[in-house]
């Protein structure tokens, strides 16, 4: 029986002039506008002011690939943004978007490299501000402040670690991006861009329903030492609308989503399973998009803290 040939994980791409390149991923591959001090066979230089000097790192361990984002303007895998500063696995035929460059992940039987000579270094990265439609999902623990006072921090951390890992996996499985863990809340979002609005919003709503099920299962099966935490409850808020997506500060994790719909998602999560009996509360724009494919129940008009006027809200089950 013939031995299976070893395949090298590698990336293929075209530059702005249409020239094609390929490079193997051996241990680590650095991608950026400068990648100062990195040998030529360990880097991909992208001449684009929207690309950070050190934008991302791809690591290969036993032919398993992961990519870590360290940029100011973001990295996308198959058109889904990686969590800022986070890592994600790569498999064959994935596409990585960095700036205007699309990198194709393949496994090849040949070992080929590209020529990275003649790199023009630009000192300052131009930080982009993108105006786009986003669906936000915020899951917030009810009564967290009192709970934190009454529960040993190590026990609380242990449960929250399991909870956030489960909720994060659900977001990723439904092609969303986790932005923040804000103490007692997890904030995720789905960028619409040129995607089908219904598909995007339905993915966010489906993720919330799965998160609800996962949270109930986790809390109900906690060991005796976590007995005080078995009755934990969460509230989910979902809102869709235009925002500006950009970056602030000096850390790659400081991704900003600025817009009324961002604020609304947090307000709705604070009302869910508290002021409103429904566990998942969605805004009218989200409801209108998914009413033909999901069970949507009107909850009436509500005041949202810090916002003028009333918001018509709905629940999904």
* pLDDT per residue as tens digits for the range 237-275: 999 999 999 877 656 567 889 999 999 999 999 999 999
Are 152 and 71 in a shared domain? no
In the listed set 108, 138, 153, which residue is the last one of a domain according to the structure? 108
pLDDT band at 118 (very low <50, low <70, confident <90, very high): very low
Are 273 and 243 in a shared domain? yes
Domain of 271 in residue numbering reads as 130-316
Chain segment 61-102, per-residue pLDDT in tens: 887 899 999 998 999 999 999 988 889 999 999 999 999 999
In the sheet where 64-69 sits, what is the strand order? Answer: 43-45, 28-32, 56-61, 64-69, 87-90
Determine the pLDDT at residue 180: 87
Chain segment 3-49, per-residue pLDDT in tens: 445 577 899 998 877 788 889 898 999 999 999 999 988 999 999 99
Placement of tokens 């078995």 in the chain: 230
Are 69 and 158 in a shared domain? no
Are 143 and 103 in a shared domain? no
> What's the CATH number where 103 sits?
2.60.200.20
- Whole-structure pTM over 0.85, yes or no? no
Chain segment 165-179, per-residue pLDDT in tens: 999 999 999 999 999
Are 161 and 192 in a shared domain? yes
Determine the pLDDT at residue 2: 44
Higher pLDDT, 293 or 62: 293
Count: domains in the chain? 2
> What's the CATH number where 201 sits?
3.30.70.1230
């Amino acid at each position: 029986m013939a031995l299976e040939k070893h395949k090298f994980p590698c990336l293929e791409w075209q530059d702005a002039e249409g020239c094609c390149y390929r490079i193997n991923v051996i241990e680590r591959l650095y991608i950026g506008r400068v990648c100062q001090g990195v040998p030529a066979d360990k880097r991909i230089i992208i001449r684009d002011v929207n690309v950070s000097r050190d934008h991302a790192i791809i690591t290969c361990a036993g032919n398993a690939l992961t990519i870590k984002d360290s940029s100011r303007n973001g990295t996308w895998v198959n058109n889904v943004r990686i969590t800022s500063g986070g890592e994600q696995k790569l498999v064959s035929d994935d596409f990585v978007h960095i700036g205007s460059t699309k990198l194709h992940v393949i496994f090849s039987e040949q070992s080929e490299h590209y020529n990275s000579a003649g790199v023009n270094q630009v000192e300052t990265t131009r930080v982009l501000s993108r105006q786009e439609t986003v669906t936000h999902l915020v899951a917030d623990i009810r009564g967290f402040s009192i709970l934190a006072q009454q529960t040993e921090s190590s026990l609380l951390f242990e449960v929250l670690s399991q909870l956030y890992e489960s909720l994060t996996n659900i977001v990723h499985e439904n092609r969303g991006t986790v932005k923040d863990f804000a103490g007692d809340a997890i904030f995720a979002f789905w960028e619409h861009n040129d995607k089908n609005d219904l598909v995007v919003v339905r993915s966010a709503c489906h993720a919330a329903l799965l998160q609800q099920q996962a949270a109930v299962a986790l809390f109900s099966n906690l060991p005796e030492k976590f007995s005080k935490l078995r009755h934990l409850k969460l509230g989910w808020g979902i809102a869709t609308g235009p925002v500006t997506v950009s970056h602030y500060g000096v850390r790659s994790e400081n991704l900003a989503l600025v817009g009324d719909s961002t604020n609304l998602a947090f307000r709705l999560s604070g009302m869910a399973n508290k002021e409103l009996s429904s566990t998942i509360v969605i805004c009218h724009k989200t409801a209108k998009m998914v009413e033909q494919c999901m069970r949507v129940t009107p909850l009436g008009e509500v005041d949202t803290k810090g916002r003028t006027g009333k918001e018509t809200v709905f629940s999904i089950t």
